């Protein structure tokens, strides 16, 4: 997950307590009666250095014994949940049932992992991504995990966006931050739901000079996941220019990979400053270097 890797790099170069990660929840799902927040968990586990580095999701040294039991009991088995990871979902569900908000639960879990930064869901309200396929709508996880994002889509809908309000602290963080970064995440289904929550897009537009986006598209492709394919399927250009067109109203600067140096002028034609650097975060040092470059670009954008 590009956002989590970027965050890890960022925390290496600024005081962690100064960072607020505003995280997508439209990938959340309910399975086995448990509330699963994949993006929040990936961010939390990554920052806790507890993520499985090979899979990029879930916990390292994980076991899968409960899954075999779910299968025995006729419960869905297409969404893998590790035994340790299950405890996270159980505790989250328990606390939500007890009346806590998702941001309260998320803060509790982050504290338990000794995180010094703030991790906050974009909203405490229900927000769910559905994609339209030839054979009807699928929930995000049905599409992403169940079908391995191998079916073409013709539309995306964020259920609940009409009424979802930003979680406490989200608008304040966007108003007060020295720098705002749109992480190198899927613009459609990772950043898109954030922008669909009431007030977020306006808050970013208002801070546009301090907002830097990092392109998740490198040389027309995503390092991982269906971002490029989704952009194409939904009529966007699967390139840094396509990304610039999605972000130009809310971000002054787009950071693109060296592989896209030849498109920098095209990005600038879309009205964004373009910074060319290495964006492949293959190790923590590269993540930190990218974070430094992004912060400098934000300072430059803000005219400092």
Residue 278 sits at the vertex; the CA angle it makes with 50 and 252, to the nearest 5 degrees, is 100
Cβ–Cβ < 8 Å for 66, 234: no
Give min distance, CB of 113 to a copy of itself, in A: 8
Nearer Cβ to a copy of itself (2/82): 82
Q: How many CB atoms lie within 10 A of CB 28?
A: 23
Q: Three-class SS of residue 257?
A: strand
Give CA–CA dist 124/37, Å, rounded.
12
Tokens matching residue 182: 């749109």
Are 35 and 42 within 8 A, CB to CB?
Answer: no
The answer to whether residue 108 forms part of the interface with a copy of itself (CB under 8 A) is yes
What whole-number distance in Å separates Cα of residue 162 and Cα of residue 165?
9
d(CA 284, CA 295): 16
The mark string for 111-150 relative to a copy of itself (x by CB under 8 A, - otherwise) is: -xx-------------------------------------
Q: Is 91 in the site for a copy of itself (CB under 8 A)?
A: yes
Q: Count residues near a copy of itself (CB under 8 A).
A: 31
Minimum CB distance to a copy of itself smaller for 66 or for 296? 66
Question: Least distance in Å: CB of 47 to a copy of itself?
Answer: 15
Site for a copy of itself in 10-69 (CB under 8 A): 32-34, 62-63, 65-69
Q: How far is the CB of 128 from a copy of itself (least distance, A)?
A: 19
Contact 42, 1 (CB under 8 A): yes
Q: Figure out which of the listed residues 17, 55, 78, 97 binds a copy of itself, where binding follows CB under 8 A.
A: 97
100 or 232, CB closer to a copy of itself? Answer: 100
> Is 76 among the residues that bind a copy of itself (CB under 8 A)?
no
Taking the least distance from each CB to a copy of itself, the nearer of 44 and 123 is 44
Does 234 interact with a copy of itself (rule: CB under 8 A)? no
Closest CA to 291 of 1, 11, 45: 11
Closest by alpha carbon to 210, among 173, 160, 161? 173
Task: Give yes or no for residue 177 binding a copy of itself (CB under 8 A).
Answer: no
Residues of this chain that bind a copy of itself (CB under 8 A): 32-34, 62-63, 65-70, 72-75, 82-84, 86-88, 90-91, 93-94, 97-98, 108-109, 112-113
């Amino acid at each position: 997950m590009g956002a989590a890797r970027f965050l890890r790099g960022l925390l290496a170069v600024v005081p962690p307590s100064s960072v607020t990660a505003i995280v997508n929840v439209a990938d959340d799902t309910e399975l086995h009666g448990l509330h699963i927040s994949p993006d929040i968990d990936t961010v939390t586990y990554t920052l806790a250095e507890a993520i499985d580095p090979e899979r990029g999701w879930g916990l390292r040294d994980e076991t899968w014994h409960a899954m075999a039991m779910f299968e025995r009991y006729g419960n869905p088995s297409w969404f893998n949940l590790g035994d340790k990871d299950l405890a996270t979902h159980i505790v989250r569900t328990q606390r939500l049932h007890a009346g806590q908000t998702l941001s309260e639960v998320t803060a509790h879990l982050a504290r338990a992992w000794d995180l010094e930064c703030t991790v906050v869901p974009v909203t405490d309200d229900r927000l769910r991504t559905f994609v339209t396929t030839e054979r009807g709508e699928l929930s995000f996880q049905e599409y992403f995990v169940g079908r391995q994002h191998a079916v073409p889509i013709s539309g995306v809908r964020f259920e609940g966006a009409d009424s979802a309000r930003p979680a406490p602290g989200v608008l304040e963080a966007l108003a007060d931050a020295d720098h705002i970064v749109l992480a190198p995440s899927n613009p459609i289904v990772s950043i898109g739901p954030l922008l669909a929550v009431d007030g977020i897009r306006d808050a970013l537009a208002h801070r546009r000079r301090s907002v830097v986006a990092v392109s998740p598209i490198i040389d027309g492709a995503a390092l991982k996941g269906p971002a490029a394919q989704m952009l194409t399927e939904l009529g966007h250009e699967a390139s840094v220019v396509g990304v610039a067109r999605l972000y130009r109203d809310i971000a002054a600067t787009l950071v693109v990979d060296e592989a896209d140096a030849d498109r920098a002028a095209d990005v600038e034609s879309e009205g964004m400053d373009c910074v060319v650097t290495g964006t492949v975060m293959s190790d923590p040092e590269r993540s930190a270097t990218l974070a430094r470059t992004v912060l400098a670009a934000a300072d430059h954008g803000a005219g400092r």
